[in-house]
Amino acid sequence: MEINDNKIPYTFMDNDAKATVYPDRLRTSIAKTIDVDGDHFLSDKEIQEYLLMKNILKAEKLMDPSCQDEKHIKHDFSLALQKKPLPQTRNYHSYEQVVCKLQELEKNHPDLAKTFVIAKTAEGRDVMAIRISKGASDSETGKKPGLLLTGCHHAGEWTSMEAPFSMAERLVESYGSDEQVRKRLDSAEIWIVPLLNPDGYEFSRDEYAFWRKNRRPIQESEVPPEIAAGMTPDENGVVAHGVDLNRNYYDGNPEHFQLYRPKSDTPESTGDDFGMTSDAPDSEVYRGPSGASEKEIQAVLALWMKRKNIQGIVNHHNYSKNILYPWASSPDGVPNEEVYKEIGRRMSDAIKDDTYIVGRSCGLYPSSGDADDFAEVNDRLSFTMEIGNDFHPESKEEIDKLCNRVYQADMAFLDWIVEHR
């Protein structure tokens, strides 16, 4: 059929994703226009509104327009709606390739790298961590100061995976030839969990590039009746798929519970939801049925909470060229804000060929159950780095540039930790 330039064609996805992907208003208007061959059209205006509502495009007041490649994002979104894989998928490593490469690094450099399977996902994939340090395989670890780097809390944020993943390779393989790397691995431990959300990531590669959550089926029985009443479970009692992993943090300390669920936000209602966080299982920012309900989050919390030497964390995300520090759940400053500002400035200065703005996480938008907030209350310094101006940058060259910027910033943080141990 003919395609009008001003309209983006799409077909409903076959699975439950449609319930999450399309807002009710849009779905209703679309339902009216269903035609026989199942093709439908959205206007530019509808697409724009939808992308803003989903925070796929960010409102101008939130960010400098140069931090957003609007044209490319819309182009990729139209492909995703048509269920076409993005052509740049091949420029990003798959789950299998990530696992193989990490195992290969350990096999070829046992004195520098050790891998761990820290969780099994709902779909049976391994969440891998790699510890990189001189003497990585010794039982005598944990004495050097450590930095943890995570990637891909959010499935469709592809360079957030690629940056920490490529860093593992770069650090291990250049130990013998790069004096700075040698010094860093001699004096510190770097933990990397490049692909925290492998189920969501693979779904975003194959099915819908803008998928955000993990892929765990949410049972009707996990949802308060008031919310379940508006949902239609499938034959297995599943009402939706996935939890937003960066809304699911909770360290089990009742004094910290309001960082997972602010006081005014009740589980039985979605009308009182806090900021960009929701109790609706079909929302893309669903916090989950309870704090740390998700295995991925239990695993990453266990990793750093039991290792006191891990003093700093960088959680990588896409996009907006920001280096953010707590709180996400309050506009107030943290007690040690000056330290965050100093490290943030060093990280930003280390990026020579681009500008990253340092600021409070809540300044981008408020959310709860956030990784950095829980690290902060457990005496770790934790940043969220929002990489680049797009979710799925296209060329290999651009991806490499972004990875190098992240490398420079993260190493500046590591150097600060080693100096202040």
Cβ closer to Zn ion: 115 or 322? Answer: 322
Cβ closer to Zn ion: 42 or 73? Answer: 73
> Whole-number minimum distance, CB 218 to Zn ion, in Å?
20
Stretch that binds Zn ion, among 41-49, 140-148, 155-163, 165-173 (CB under 5 A): 155-163
Q: How far apart are CA 271 and CA 287, in angstroms?
A: 14
Asked if 292 and 253 count as a contact pair (C-beta separation under 8 A), the reply is no
Contact between 247 and Zn ion by CB under 5 A: the answer reads no
Q: How far apart are the first and last CA of the chain?
A: 65
Closest to 75 in 3D by CA, of 88, 62, 65: 88
Site map 103..142 versus Zn ion, x via CB under 5 A: ----------------------------------------
Question: Which single residue is written with the structure tokens 């761990």?
Answer: 116
Cβ closer to Zn ion: 88 or 320? Answer: 320
Residues in Cβ contact with 263 at an 8 Å cutoff, skipping those fewer than 6 apart? none
Query: Using DSSP, how many helices (H) and how many strands (E) does the chain show?
Result: 14, 12
Query: β-strand 113-120 against 217-219: which pairing, if any?
Result: unpaired
Closest residue to Zn ion, Cβ-based?
A: 317
Ranges within 135-154 binding Zn ion (CB under 5 A): 154
DSSP string computed for 27-71: HHHHHHT--TTS-EEEEHHHHHHHHHHTTSSPPTTTS-GGG--HH
SS3 278: strand
- Length of the chain, in residues: 421
> Whole-number minimum distance, CB 77 to Zn ion, in Å?
16
Cβ closer to Zn ion: 317 or 405? Answer: 317
> Whole-number minimum distance, CB 159 to Zn ion, in Å?
11
Stretch that binds Zn ion, among 66-74, 111-119, 300-308, 310-318 (CB under 5 A): 310-318
Cβ closer to Zn ion: 157 or 415? Answer: 157
Structure tokens at 57: 């495009």
Cβ closer to Zn ion: 157 or 279? Answer: 157
Amino acid at 259: L
> Whole-number minimum distance, CB 202 to Zn ion, in Å?
17
Asked if 168 and 105 count as a contact pair (C-beta separation under 8 A), the reply is yes
Among the listed residues 131, 317, 380, 405, the single contact to Zn ion using CB under 5 A:
317
Interacting residues toward Zn ion by CB under 5 A: 154, 157, 317
